[in-house]
Amino acid sequence: MDEVLSRIAAIHQQHALKCYLAIESLKAQFDWPEKDWLKINKLIELEEPSFDIAILKPGSMPFEPVARRRHWVLAHAIYPYAYFTMQDWFNQSDTSEIFSYYVEQCAEKNEYLSHNISVLIAFKLAWPLVKTEKQKLRFIERFCEFVTATFYGNNHQSYPVATDYNKPKSIDEQTVLASALKQPGFWGHNLIALASILRVKDQMPVATFQQLLINLDEQCYWKFEDDTDKPQISYACANHISKQTLESVCFELLINSQRNLHQITLAESACYLFNLEWVSTKQKSQLIDVINHFSKSKPI
């Protein structure tokens, strides 16, 4: 955890925590040699540099942040003041309140690749794993960087919806999974986002959960110009549906190529969805096809 929390975003949002959780989940499913897991960890190092300088320090607050200016400071990314503002928020409030605040922001605005919700949920799920004061402070630093880069209208990106898209009258997990398999998106981000949302379904209001599903379903029908955002996957639906087949394609994706860290979260998210009881045999075969497709994709 110490090493993961030292990794910072190099493009937009930090993914190291999300990858860390995904690797731990995959380790519980696949009994692979340690050298293979080290190789998978290298995918994180390829994308996100290590930054081991402490900004927040134990027992030290150089000034008292003004609580009423909290969101102004974060919205305008006023650094380094923002770090101390976020630290003060964590000191003054229950963390569930903080995470819930941003989950509601996710529901209000649909964001390209859904990193706003998938990375946020990774932070939420990782928080109970934070054990030391050092880890807590590094977590707050990375979380502060994430929210200032993602929320408050910063760097918002979305696309028009296809003219043939019919917004469903009612929304559920099955509907969105069907849409995400029809169009998984860039490196399967629609599947990654769906898996993330489902993990915390019981930790949010029903209306919020449904709105997140609506956002994601619509995103599956966005009109993109870049072909990498609309992969054309050949669904043979002839796969042998078994945990062994799933493991085999995940191994091919994670071990036999070094493209980017999304390989990790795609593999784990597909496994998560594959193991859900309500997912059909056909959809499980399609999930295998998705993993297989990206294991053969050219480096991006």
Give the tens place of pLDDT for each residue, 94-151: 999 999 999 999 999 899 999 999 999 999 999 999 999 999 999 999 999 999 999 9
Q: What is the arithmetic mean of pLDDT over 45-74? A: 93
Q: Give the long-range contacts of residues 253-259, CB within 8 A, separation 24 or more.
A: 253/291, 253/292, 253/294, 253/295, 254/26, 254/36, 254/39, 254/40, 254/43, 255/32, 255/36, 255/39, 255/40, 256/295, 257/295, 257/299, 258/39, 258/42, 258/43, 258/46, 259/43, 259/297, 259/299, 259/300
DSSP H helical ranges for the chain:
16-29, 34-47, 70-75, 81-92, 95-108, 115-126, 133-150, 173-182, 189-199, 206-219, 243-255, 262-274, 281-295
Q: Tell me, what's the pLDDT at 23? A: 98
Residue 300 has pLDDT above 70, yes or no: no
Nearest Cα to Cα of residue 140 among 159, 126, 155 = 126
pLDDT band at 296 (very low <50, low <70, confident <90, very high): confident
Q: Tell me, what's the pLDDT at 147? A: 97
User: What's the pLDDT tens digit per position in 210-255?
Assistant: 999 999 999 999 999 999 999 999 898 777 899 999 999 999 999 9
User: What's the pLDDT tens digit per position in 161-200?
Assistant: 999 898 888 899 999 999 999 999 999 999 999 999 999 9
% of the chain with per-residue pLDDT over 70: 99
Q: Tell me, what's the pLDDT at 238? A: 73
Q: What is the arithmetic mean of pLDDT over 255-261? A: 88
This prediction's pTM: 0.96
Q: What is the arithmetic mean of pLDDT over 71-84? A: 96
Q: Tell me, what's the pLDDT at 257? A: 82
* Whole-number Å distance between alpha carbons of 84 and 59: 12
Residue 298 has pLDDT above 70, yes or no: no
The rounded mean pLDDT for the chain is 94
Beta bridge partners of 57: 60
